[in-house]
Chains A and B, each alone.
Chain A
């Protein structure tokens, strides 16, 4: 302790008078009156001028959200207002959702961004009100007469900034929509909000650039065909090194039975590549006649996150390529928003796919009746059928070093309704699988916090906040069941959950479902496996003979 203790009187004074420290800001203010504040880590880079030109959006320029002056064009308000009118006339969802919210508050605490930040503007209802307030002002008589009294306000630069911030703190995950008594879906409002932001020339680069790349080269990273092929072949070599089995992927091959499309993250990114290896091993194992395409080399569709037009433009390549190659049907890899687009938009936008056949599994003969029109099958459906029909030789003990839990991707769960298939596959390829707590899985799953094109590194702070509810559920199973493997069927998950886990729950790694399938597959002519696809040690297996056998 100090050698020169303060006098009692001094202490008394300090004790009585020491000023209190900084307090929370602006308590009690209405949310409308709290201005947005852009700080490092809470905004995404603005789209580069060349990207904007490429995509044909408004007002290409160099700017940053942190700038005081956003260099908006003359008359941007009019553009946005007209755009709003146009969209109200085109989308019943938008118009209806602007009118019928009763602000009952059921959604208030359902948003992962709200739960991770406590910011009232992240309550789904308030996020919608950001838009609704402008709608009232422009399009309803009560808003025009009573203005602020009924929660209406004019479109100002401040409002636009608020839109920019909060429509980029929504991952379009639809969790709030599950609890809404009228099914109001904030994702619809956010989608419109982002389209309007495009009209004002306020886009973010991480959404726009991949969309532009995808258009030109076929994938987000802008990888050209020879490099794409080269990379896939080197993954095939890795498979051979590890298992002794040769796999021979083909590219742009006419006459193949099936076109396989997966997000490019599976081809280029760690840990996505291990999932890609899993697909290739599976296809080799069952002798599937498939081809990859360098032209349609991207399953993901960042167009969904900026505008309907670019979504359609990017998606059009899938059918176009399938038709050119003359395949029978399309098989799609593990991805979230790709499947939102394929399941709910593709056929409407770019169908009908008359040139394809109704999908039938060439191995089991199973007809995929739920995909008779779009003619595109999800790999989890495909594999679940294979396992159910006993066509795969699997040794789940090869995943014994993993204690798994399963993260439902928002789009797969709430935009497609696929919950059981991946779980069925997972249970068959590993022995340790524990669910996260109720209300954090299936249709109530928490988003990874980086969906809808927000998985860019400058946005890490916000992403860590948004992913916190997910991480907290993982923490629970980690403590309870020693879970060390978080399995997901989404490329954005595979890219964004690793940093999330690394931050909140170090020791939990992220896996793709088909990576585990790849680990468990007992392939013909394989070398003895002691390591998984990541070259991590497997647990000692006594003998191969006890592996699960299936009758042909």
Chain B
């Protein structure tokens, strides 16, 4: 059952997380580096904090999935869905893990077999597709909010008119 690559992730979680996070944060800033990456306070830099939390949960639960994994996907997609980059870039986040792990194996020379790699790939793909569901759901939510807000603004008038 145990996949060498999954073990690799578990073992090197901190480094992988750091790499992943900084790669992703660079998407937010149109500059190479910005406060978004360096400011570490939970409240003064919520993007970094919540992404870090989410990515960490994903790595921790990468193999067993479960509720926490799902929540983490939600949390991350909630942030991605309202940013100024297109969905393709938002979703790239989840593929990035593949690249990071690949680099990691090269660097550390950890051996793994073909089956591991196939399995790992498919896990990443499944995760990305799940994330896409989340992302779309949040986009839909934005549109729902727009509708709700227009209704609420004139709530009494609509009520009076019997709508």
Contacts and interface: CB of A to CB of B under 8 A. Distances in A.
Is A in direct contact with B (CB under 8 Å) within the complex? yes
Nearest to A28: B32
Nearest to A123: B35
Contacts of B147: 457
B70 interface: no
A510 to B, nearest CB: 11
Interface in B7-47: 25-32, 34-36, 39, 42-47
A254 to B, nearest CB: 27
Contacts of B141: 502-503
B117 A11 contact: yes
A6 B159 CA distance: 63
A117 B118 contact: no
Nearest to A223: B157
Contacts of B156: 231, 234-235, 267-270, 273
Nearest to A268: B156
Nearest to B102: A15
Interface residues of B, number: 57
B43 A458 contact: no
Given A5-B115, A15-B102, A24-B29, A269 B146 contact: no
B153 A1 contact: no
Nearest to A457: B146
Contacts of A2: 118, 122
A118 B117 contact: no
A268 B157 contact: yes
Contact of B46 (A41, A221, A468, A499): A468
Of the candidates B98, B119, B146, the one having the most CB atoms from chain A within 10 angstroms of its own CB is B146
B99 interface: yes
Contact of B29 (A118, A223, A267): A118
A269 B25 CA distance: 38
B54 to A, nearest CB: 13
A437 B149 CA distance: 28
Contacts of A267: 156
Interface string B98-137: 1100100000000000110111001000000000000000
Contacts of A473: 43
Q: Number of contact residues on A: which range applies? A: 35 or more
Contact of B30 (A26, A116, A269, A498): A26
A234 to B, nearest CB: 7
Given A21-B96, A465-B83, A472 B50 contact: yes
A24 B43 contact: no
A439 B44 contact: yes
B148 A269 contact: no
A440 interface: yes
B30 A227 contact: no
A464 B42 CA distance: 18
Q: Which of A25, A31, A499 is the most central at the interface, judged by chain B CB atoms within 10 Å of its CB? A: A499
Contacts of B122: 1-2
Contact of B146 (A120, A460, A471): A460
Interface of A: 1-2, 5-6, 8, 11, 15, 18, 20-29, 31, 34, 37, 39, 41-42, 108-109, 114-120, 123, 221, 223, 227, 230-231, 234-235, 265, 267-271, 273, 437, 439-440, 457-458, 460-462, 464-465, 468-469, 471-473, 476, 495-496, 498-499, 502-504
Given A221-B157, A460-B142, 14 more contacts: A24-B26, A27-B31, A29-B30, A41-B82, A109-B39, A109-B45, A115-B36, A120-B30, A268-B155, A439-B43, A458-B146, A465-B83, A472-B42, A503-B142
25 contacts: A1-B118, A20-B99, A21-B92, A22-B92, A26-B30, A27-B26, A27-B30, A109-B44, A115-B45, A116-B47, A120-B31, A234-B160, A269-B154, A439-B43, A439-B44, A460-B145, A460-B146, A462-B82, A469-B44, A472-B42, A472-B46, A476-B43, A496-B149, A499-B145, A499-B148
